[in-house]
Amino acid sequence: MEIRKHDVLVLGTGLAGLRAAVEVLKVSKDKLSVGIVSKVHLMRSHSVAPEGGAAAVLSENDSFDQHAYDTVKGSDFLADQDVVETYVRLFPKEILQLEHWGRPWSRNDDGSVAMRLFGAHDVPRTVFAEDRTGFFLMRTLYDTLLKFENFERYDEYLALSIIIDDREFRGLLTLEKSSGNYVLFESKALVIATGGLGRLWEFTTNAHTTTGDGFAIALRAGIPLKDMEFVQWLPTCMVPHGIPATEALRGHGAVLLNSKGERFMKHYAPSKMELAARDIVSRAMITEIREGRGFKGPEDMECVMLDARPVGEDKLMTIYKTFVENARDFIGIDPLEELVPVRPAAHFAMGGIDVDINLTTIIPGIYAAGEVACPGFDGANRLGSNSLPLCLATGRIAGQNAAVYAMRKNATSSSRVFQNAEREMEKFERLTQIKGSRNPYELKKELSHIMESYVGLFRDEAGLLKALERIRQLKISYLTDLSIDDSSKVFNTELTNAIEFGFMLDVAEVITLSALKREESRGAHYRTDFPKRDDEKWLKHSVVRITDAGLAVSYRPVKITKWKPEERRY
Amino acid sequence: MKWEITLRVFRFDPERERKPKFAEYEVPVDEYTRVLEALLWVKENIDPSLNLRYSCRMAMCGSCGMLINNKPRLACKTIIKTLKTDVVEVKPLPKFKVIRDLVVEMDDFFDKHRSVKPYLIRRNVQEQENPTGFYFQTSEEVRRYIQFAYCIMCGLCSSSCPIFRSGGRYLGPQALAQAFRYLADSRDEGFDVREKILNSDKGVWRCHFAGECSEACPKGVEPAEAIQRLRRKLL
């Protein structure tokens, strides 16, 4: 096992991770040495995908209170209001800072930054660049990182285990893909920014690499996960691949149609229509399909139709160019002329690693940022275009706090760290020696089918119980009957995929258990057997941790400052 | 409609083999199947030791550049039906060292990109790091560089360039187009610090205008045009 040492480690290189790395270097004036660890090349994380934009209060017709209220209402009142009020004030600062680092924003004729309307926001406050908003943010941060000197990049290292000693963060065990060697990183602080978990489901917007690694690594290290039952389905994703058609299109006039040619959203959200909160639009689409008013789309997948023609050719060919290219290139449909087949796809984890408003976890030295972190901003449903500024803001705060922590702390060394890492390494080496009968792809297919069938948009007790039982059986198969054929060390992706699948199993169990326990419907978590929100019993966060007796669920109150819970109507 | 194609794939495991070989697989496809899905079908159903890079599967992350029927393309953006052949041949990107199968070494490509200082340079660094208000930029000024900012760093352009890695130290179309992306940005003040490397023996004058780079680019960046404009700026 090789050892590398840095002051601060950043794990994951999407928006939150790159923003954190840049912040550590900036705050410390290039004095702290930063190790940047990613399982992909640094610029290839899935933050390149978001199309629509970033929400921020930048106009005179808008206010921080309005943005905070829209977010809290969208969250179905599960958001911690102190967190929301604090973070929305950082968003415009981040938009401005990124602009100063070179990121293009679409501008109005007078040179001011252009804004558009997004779902469940009361005013247009989403800034954008064509429909490649996430991509330009990623490239700007990657480019900006290259200005600094005191960092090492570790492209294509898969993180395996967090090493803790004396209740403090000490190191991170990884597997270097190109050599197949185990590498232990020792450092004072760690920022976990590994992104989401969409690949747990069959139909998802997420990249193949979005396998929930950070959630599982933290959980296994004893750090709790919070609000994991809340997973967002993005309404308009093109069939059969799950590539999104941005919500911004609906802000510019695109409508949803059922097989009767009807704008069915009028039955579900008469005032906001297609721009209601995402959970409401997604459930409406699936309800239409289930009640026989859907279409058979490509590869026989059931869907409804998105009519983007009202957006107009001018806009479609300029600020929605990526959408038009994707529809033409990937499914052979021209949105200027034809209806686009769409259905909701698993998209975003509202829950995540339990952190406070400063992005600190219960372990000194460990911080989390971006989608994998849950500071309590998103609650039970995230608003579209809140996630990009949230990744930036949380990356910045986590980076700052990790830097301050690392500057105050003296480097220590202990042989126990190495021994712990060796014990962890043996657990992963054991996977290759099981020599059972089932390959990781077969097992993964089974898991995503379970999640799609029982832990989807509509849930009930019987289904969740069945899912939990089958996930636990799969965990046993994984440890006793796994087969990994490829025994080469160099770039062995069968092995790395098998390790990722192990992470997915742990995360799936937490989501399913949290969903089973929460006997109400709130935001993205919908129980057909408990279809109403129940503030008396359930206005609280769920917190899951590992104990000797298995997973334990506890609850924590929601912080309410200005806005008393009310019925959510759009 | 479903049919079968033959996927002929370059295979090389440096731990076990001295020479690369080709393996052939029969793969079921339909009108939506992309080369990436065909490769993953092989990996999941026939031979899990087949290795490739892939991630976003929507032509944004730049992971899956490879040589498909002898043209550099993204596997996720190449619909098999459009290739109009029953045999699809897949090889690693040329000009890059093979790590294993379709996976190539890209460190030097990233270093070349870094060497042109691909970030916004301002004289007033204090204000840049502690911004007081947006830099003024019109939508026309955004239009002048945004196409060149589409680069996803997949490497298709440089791998198709006849000069790149043909003996000299030429930076290649990807790096040069990214230098132009910042030089064409009305907010940038970094011409002086980039001029030397662009004018050097690694720089823009090595380009022979084969134009292969612009043809290969899956995002419409037009590196050849960027290089031509850089030359005009440097004269």
* Same domain? B72 vs B97: yes
In degrees, rounded to 5, the angle at the alpha carbon of residue A105 between the alpha carbons of residues A98 and A341 is: 115
pLDDT tens-digit readout, B92-117 = 999 999 999 999 999 999 999 999 99
Contact assignment for A136 to B149 by CB distance below 8 Å: yes
Domain boundaries, position B98: 2-104
Domain boundary pick from B104, B131, B159:
B104
User: Which architecture, in CATH terms, is A233-346?
Assistant: Alpha-Beta Complex (3.90)
Whether residue B87 is found in the same domain as residue B154: no
Residues B75 and B166 grouped into a single domain: no
Residues A299-345 have pLDDT tens digits of 999 999 999 999 999 999 999 999 999 999 999 999 999 999 999 99
What helix, strand, coil percent values describe chain A, rounded to 5? 40, 20, 40
Q: Which pLDDT score, from 0 to 100, does residue A414 have? A: 82
Q: What residues pair up with A172 in beta bridges, in sequence order?
A: A162, A185
Size of interface A-B (CB pairs under 8 A): 168
Task: Provide mean pLDDT across the span B56-76.
Answer: 98
- pLDDT value of residue A418: 95
B98 and B214 share a domain? Answer: no
Taking an 8 Å cut-off on Cβ atoms, the answer to whether B145 and A439 are in contact is no
Q: Which CATH class is domain A419-535?
A: mainly alpha
My answer on whether B122 and B160 are in the same domain is yes
Q: Say if the Cβ atoms of B187 and A492 lie within 8 Å.
A: no
A278 counts as catalytic: yes
pLDDT confidence of residue B167:
85
Ramachandran assignment for A196, one of left (phi > 0), alpha (psi -120 to 50 degrees), beta (any other)? beta
Question: Is A18 within 8 Å of chain B by CB?
Answer: no
Contacting residues of A for B59, CB less than 8 Å apart: 326, 329
* Closest to A11 in 3D by CA, of A179, A180, A221: A221
The one-letter amino acid at A566: E
B162: pLDDT strictly greater than 80: yes
Mean pLDDT of A537-554: 97
- Say whether residue A44 is in contact with chain B using an 8 A CB cutoff: yes
Same-domain status, B145 and B96: no
Domains in chain B: how many in total?
2
Domain of B188: which CATH number? 1.10.1060.10
The CATH number covering residue B63 comes to 3.10.20.30
Q: Is A315 on the interface with B (CB under 8 A)?
A: no
The partner residue sitting opposite B49, judged by closest CB among A139, A298, A485, is A485
- B64 lies in the same domain as B12: yes
Task: Give yes or no for a contact between B157 and B172, defined as CB atoms under 8 angstroms apart.
Answer: yes
Q: Is the same domain home to B82 and B114?
A: no
Residue B116 tokens read as 């042109």
* Structure confidence at residue A398 (pLDDT): 98
What residue ranges do the domains of chain A occupy? 233-346, 419-535
Q: Are residues B94 and B183 in the same domain?
A: no
Contact B100 A494 (CB under 8 A): no
Which pLDDT band, with edges at 50, 70 and 90, does A474 fall under?
very high
Last residue of a domain, one of B77, B104, B131: B104
Q: What is the pLDDT of residues A188-240, one digit of tens each?
A: 999 999 999 999 999 999 999 999 999 999 999 999 999 999 999 999 999 99
Q: Which two tokens stand for residue B212?
A: 């292969």
A-chain residues near B133 (CB < 8 A): 96
Both tokens of A63, joined, read 């206010």
A45-74 residues touching B, CB cutoff 8 A: 45-46, 48-49
* Peptide linkage before A240 cis (omega within 30 of 0): yes
The stretch A291-302 carries a mean pLDDT of: 96
Residue A413 has pLDDT above 80, yes or no: no
Question: What is the rounded distance in angstroms from the CA atom of residue A337 to the CA atom of residue A238?
Answer: 16
When the pLDDT of each residue in chain B is averaged and rounded to a whole number, the result is: 97
Q: Which residue of B has its CA nearest to A135?
A: B60
Separation between Cα atoms, residue A125 and residue B141, nearest integer Å: 23
Whether B168 has a pLDDT exceeding 90, the answer reads no
Is B231 exposed, middle or buried (CB count within 10 Å of its CB: 0-12, 13-18, 19+)?
A: middle
DSSP tally for chain A: helices H, then strands E: 15, 23
**B129 & B67 share domain:** no
Q: What is the ipTM for the molecules in this complex?
A: 0.98
The two tokens of residue B105 are 């070494």
Same-domain pairing of B81 and B118: no
> Which pLDDT tens digit goes with each residue over A104-142?
999 998 889 999 999 999 999 999 998 999 999 999 999
Residues B27, B58: one domain?
yes
Looking at residue A109, its pLDDT comes to: 87
> In the predicted model, what is the mean pLDDT of residues A447-472?
98
Q: pTM higher than 0.90 for the full model?
A: yes
Q: What is the distance in angstroms between the Cα of A393 and the nearest Cα belonging to chain B?
A: 15
| pLDDT single digits (tens) A140-166 | 999 999 999 999 999 999 999 999 999
Summarize chain B as % helix, strand, coil (round to 5): 40, 15, 45
Stretch A481-493: mean pLDDT: 97
Question: Cβ of A431 under 8 Å from any chain B Cβ?
Answer: no
- Output DSSP code: residue B79: B
Residue at a domain's end among B80, B104, B128: B104
List all residues 6 or more positions away from A384 whose beta carbon is below 8 Å from its beta carbon: A52, A118, A119, A120, A121, A126, A247, A278
